[in-house]
Amino acid sequence: MGPVGVGIAGLGVVGSGTVNVLTRNADEITRRAGRDIRVVTAAVRDLERERDCDVSGIELTTDPMKVATSPDVEVVVELMGGEGVALEVVMAAIAAGKHVVTANKALIASHGNEIFKAAQDAGVTVAFEPAVAGGIPIIKAIREGLAGNRVEWLAGIINGTSNFILTAMADGEGTFDDVLAEAQRLGYAEADPTFDVEGVDAAHKLTILASIAFGIPLQFDKVYIEGISKLAGVDVDYASELGFTIKHLGIAARRDNGIELRVHPTLIPKRRLIANVDGVMNAVLVCGDAVGQTLHYGAGAGADATASAVVADIVDVVRALTTDPDNRVPHLAFQPGKLADLPILDVNESRTAYYIRIAAVNRPGVLAEVTRVFGDSNISIETILQKGSGKSEEVLPIILLTQRTIEKNIDQAIEKLESLDDIVGSVVRLRVEHLSE
């Protein structure tokens, strides 16, 4: 058989990296795939711009629809990002009978149900390994490697920008604003970092992971999202003193009454391996009933790391070109029509432990008032840390760690605490996950 023609829509950092990996490792890739793989066309914004890859032999166009419908292309690689034109290109490629590889997490999280239905009807594959955690093959690991397990929960550091910022804050390198500015200078954060630091990017990825882990439809709009921009350095320090590291986690957990989907800053015991994933690196911890916990670690972004996942998906698609569409690995791990209609729980029904910081007037009996509020709300306290150097201070911080409870109980307790005359300002609340169950 002749070579497989690939068309790339978007020849930026990842697109150029993909061309480079396909070129550099051509012989090895052919041995794995069974056929030569060649990029024959690519859509770019500017035909005159200098590229970070060799484009000789590649037909360049400014119209991504030409890539999607070219008769010389069997596999369309969508690397443009966004949800508008990218969705049009992917749907056009599917309608033309082309297989698709995409690194677009927002596209899959928001439109994946529609895309996969169209692909199933057309008998083509949409592969999306590079959409989550860059070069870490986490989609394949959960969808195929852990297929014999009932996944109970997963927790992931799945945004490198946020992890870089939290690592630097923990190392005492400055406030959130200071470290964010440094991340932007180094190119780890965008000029507008909102999607990263406010958790939207991680929520897109969590949506995808939860779907393949639990066999549920993609439901990005139901993920609880909380960012790190309001995280105070003092809480990073107190967490460390208590033996914890704060990470921005995406958590998906199976409960008796539904599925928890939440992204937020989280205290993790320092002894956990995932607590020691620093800088821009990513990691996903998955707990299955048979295998127990598995940790998947690696580069979550970057030209070569993401290109590694793109090329792996291209190879998988090429291997399956001649197979019966009904016998391919299902897009979302479970057979079409067999996705479970499990409810996504509201965050006030989630169950976890909590870190609470209270500013209290320095007088006898205040601590007793505080503990009474928690008792009345059916919350058990695990640790109390009262800070301060002496009687001269009028307001002292009280830090508590609770045992696991339902979030609405914590909300109730915080409301009562903030109504007390001896509590100053707002109560700070962060979630705690021991990741040991």
Residue 57 CA to residue 35 CA, distance in Å, equals 18
Whole-Å CA distances, 352 to 21, 308, 347: 43, 36, 11
| Cβ atoms of 220 and 203 closer than 8 Å | yes
Residues 6+ apart with CB under 8 A from 275: 244, 245, 247, 268, 269
Residue type, 413: A
The C-alpha angle 330, 334, 335, rounded to 5 degrees, equals: 70
Whole-Å CA distances, 277 to 246, 314, 352: 11, 29, 22
> Percent helix, strand and coil across the chain, each rounded to 5?
40, 25, 35
| Cβ atoms of 310 and 14 closer than 8 Å | yes
| Cβ atoms of 127 and 321 closer than 8 Å | no
Pairing between β-strand 258-269 and β-strand 224-225 as defined by DSSP bridges: parallel
Of 205, 270, 387, 391, catalytic? 205
Q: Name the residue among 218, 310, 217, 297 with its Cα closest to residue 18.
A: 310
Is 205 noted as a catalytic residue in this protein?
yes
Residue 64 CA to residue 179 CA, distance in Å, equals 37
Residue 82: is it exposed, middle or buried by C-beta count within 10 angstroms (0-12/13-18/19+)? exposed
Q: Which residues have a catalytic role annotated?
A: 205
